[in-house]
Amino acid sequence: MVRAARVRQAGQVADRVRVREIDQDEGGRLLRIVRRGTGSVVTWRRAQMVLLSAQSMAAAKVAEVTFTSADRVRDVIHNFNADGFDSLYPKYSGGRPRTFTLPERRDIKKIVKSRPVEHDLPFSTWSPAKPADFLVAQGVVDDISHEGLRILLREEGVSFQRVKTWKASRDPDYAVKKARVEHLYAIADGEVVGDRDDPEVVFCLDEFGPLNLQPHPGRQWAERGDTHKDPAREPGPRRRATYTRPHGVRHLFAAYDLAGDKLYGHIKKTKNRTKFLEFCRYLRTLYPPTVRLAIVCDNYSPHLTTRRCRRVADWAEANNVEIAYTPTNSSWLNRIEA
């Protein structure tokens, strides 16, 4: 009671626990851990909590989705903010403390992963020697050797790579689109009150597929087939696997209603703009025409409005619907991905 009174007198409100700002590479890594679902179950659950928090979901809501307590979610988020991805893979071991503190290691990793031109340096790539000299010159650390920097980066999971994909979003409107998606999530979670033009219902939409039935080897308890087998017992019928699929594949169109906590899905033979609009029309029928909807989706070409085809934009404008796109290469912002 005394503590609550002091808080009221000071006029302070505790900030909501949320994961720190994560970059494009970290968001993709979290999404890969959640999608694959292999390895440690603890790692998968922790990655799911962090990813949902990165999608602007409150800790209490994350706890409800992941079937755990809100305190555990807050602990996972705090640990990730302090230790990064190491907190997802707990290691119980002793030893002397690390030479560099966690904030120093985080700053070193951030600088090495950035481009030299961002620091007004006249070269395009970090060599093994240049980042060590730059870190000392900037006052990030007092001293660090080239070999010490190499070992530290290896421990942090950073290596020199020849990349073929973008490690950062190329979208020039990245901040605007990300802020809009997060604002829609806040409206759906009841954290903010939307304006007159804001939607009342928010869907997260995505496709999954192509879906193709494939045979998988089974496991069971059976009688041994060697010399211990009963001679009088006839062999069972053999059922061979077949990979013949003459009827094509299927695609799943799915949408998650954030406020209603419901999942809707349709199976389609093809995945194109026509089928996308058919599924959107179905979502529109779930609420009265006067209720404004928002559909969060990625930049897959059937979702877009182009100069040659304006069907998506025309339909959305005529049916009181907002199509909110995640930034390029940032599909991890879509809550249905988690």
Q: pLDDT (tens digit, 9 = 90+) per residue, 269-310?
A: 888 899 999 999 999 999 998 999 999 998 888 888 888 888
Structural domain boundaries, residue 36: 15-88
Residue 157's CB is within 10 A of a number of other CB atoms, namely: 11
What are the tens digits of pLDDT across the range 182-241? Answer: 889 888 888 888 788 888 999 999 988 777 777 777 777 766 655 556 666 666 666 666
Going by their DSSP bridges, the two strands 262-268 and 293-297 should be labelled as unpaired
Going by their DSSP bridges, the two strands 201-211 and 262-268 should be labelled as unpaired
Distances in whole angstroms, Cα of residue 235 to Cα of each of 223, 230, 238: 11, 10, 9
Angle in degrees, CA 124, 125, 128, rounded to 5: 150
The answer to whether residues 30 and 77 belong to one domain is yes
Distances in whole angstroms, Cα of residue 6 to Cα of each of 1, 10, 17, 111: 9, 6, 21, 41
What are the tens digits of pLDDT across the range 45-70? Answer: 899 999 998 888 888 888 888 888 88
- pLDDT grade, residue 7 (50/70/90)? very low
Q: How far apart are CA 4 and CA 97, in angstroms?
A: 38
Distances in whole angstroms, Cα of residue 288 to Cα of each of 171, 280, 320: 34, 14, 10
Residue 257 lies in a domain: yes
pTM of the model: 0.56
The answer to whether residues 254 and 327 belong to one domain is yes
The answer to whether residues 333 and 187 belong to one domain is yes
The answer to whether residues 30 and 125 belong to one domain is no
Is the four-CA dihedral 118, 123, 127, 131 of positive or negative sign? negative
